[in-house]
Amino acid sequence: MTGIGILGANGRMGRVLIEAAHLDSDINLVAAAVREGSQWIGMDAGELAGISKQNLKITASLEPNTTQIDAVIDFTLPDVIEQNLAWCVANKKAIVIGTTGLNDKQKESLERAATSIPIVFAANYSVGVNLMLNLVRQAAKTMGDTADIEILEAHHRFKKDAPSGTAMAIGEAIADEVGRDLNQCAVYGREGDTGERKHETIGFATVRAGDVVGEHTALFADIGERLEITHKASSRLTFAKGAVTAAKWLVGKPAGLYSMQDVLELN
């Protein structure tokens, strides 16, 4: 059994992670933490997640259950990523991170922590999206010299970062395959007289609306034809199950920064 500690247990993903841990017979959920002062402290984790009672109380940190934890799963916010990493390094705990929207300083902290502990960091933990990353590379290799490339993504109204981490991962995979620097060729919005489209650009279009879980399309448009590679998620449980799978895989691995592609052996 793998002992799992969940950070951000009261969030949209946190609650689904509790459910995913409950559904996996190889997982023992031993800790579920929220921010200090949260109204959820002391509540049963199962009741918080809307499932059966788990006899595990929500706490303000992972400290009470440190010795039982084999791996931590973190889908919180960028502003706490550094302190979460510091705790895992100090306590020698593996960590799976699904937090997106990290700045350069936070990414550096991630890389630094990975010299001490094993970390899986991915923009998306679904099997389908990670397969999609391989498929867009194939499409870019074949069509990248002639096709215009656009990435379209849609998420719920509560998502704070844009474009999504998954959209950026798709863009980075394509740019890498065609030998472009995404920082130089990405276009994140168009308005007014923008002039003729430059072939080397990779465009991003973002939708935020309602309760859309997540939709991503990579569009390769040439004269006379276009190829669209699309992934649509209908439940956050897809991502949560993937993160739990990553946590099980990560335990016992040497220090390093791993991806979901590594977990699924897609590299």
Those residues of the chain that have pLDDT short of 70 are none
Q: At what angle do helices 127-143 and 165-178 cross, to 10 degrees?
A: 30
Determine whether domain 127-233 maps to CATH 3.30.360.10.
Answer: yes
Task: Read off the tokens for 119.
Answer: 């970390």
- Domain segments of the chain as ranges: 2-121+236-263, 127-233
How many other C-beta atoms can be found within 10 angstroms of the C-beta atom of residue 221?
Answer: 15
Q: At what angle do helices 104-113 and 81-91 cross, to 10 degrees?
A: 10
pLDDT, the chain, mean: 95
Given a contact cutoff of 8 angstroms between Cβ atoms, the answer to whether 121 and 263 are in contact is: no
Which pLDDT does position 212 carry in this prediction?
96
- Cα separations in angstroms, 3 against 29, 45, 49, 77, 231: 6, 15, 18, 23, 31
pLDDT tens, residue by residue, 74-86: 999 999 999 999 9
Pick from 73, 110, 163, 119: which is nearest to 260 by CA? 119
Which pLDDT does position 101 carry in this prediction?
85
Q: d(Cα 257, Cα 108) in Å, to the nearest integer?
A: 12
Given a contact cutoff of 8 angstroms between Cβ atoms, the answer to whether 164 and 100 are in contact is: yes
Which pLDDT does position 123 carry in this prediction?
85
Catalytic residue numbers, as ranges: 155, 159
- Residue showing tokens 């459910």: 19
Q: d(Cα 234, Cα 101) in Å, to the nearest integer?
A: 22
Q: d(Cα 115, Cα 137) in Å, to the nearest integer?
A: 29
Given a contact cutoff of 8 angstroms between Cβ atoms, the answer to whether 260 and 130 are in contact is: yes
Q: d(Cα 47, Cα 118) in Å, to the nearest integer?
A: 31
Which pLDDT does position 256 carry in this prediction?
97
Q: Which CATH superfamily is domain 2-121+236-263 in?
A: NAD(P)-binding Rossmann-like Domain (3.40.50.720)
Which pLDDT does position 182 carry in this prediction?
97
**pTM (2 d.p.):** 0.83
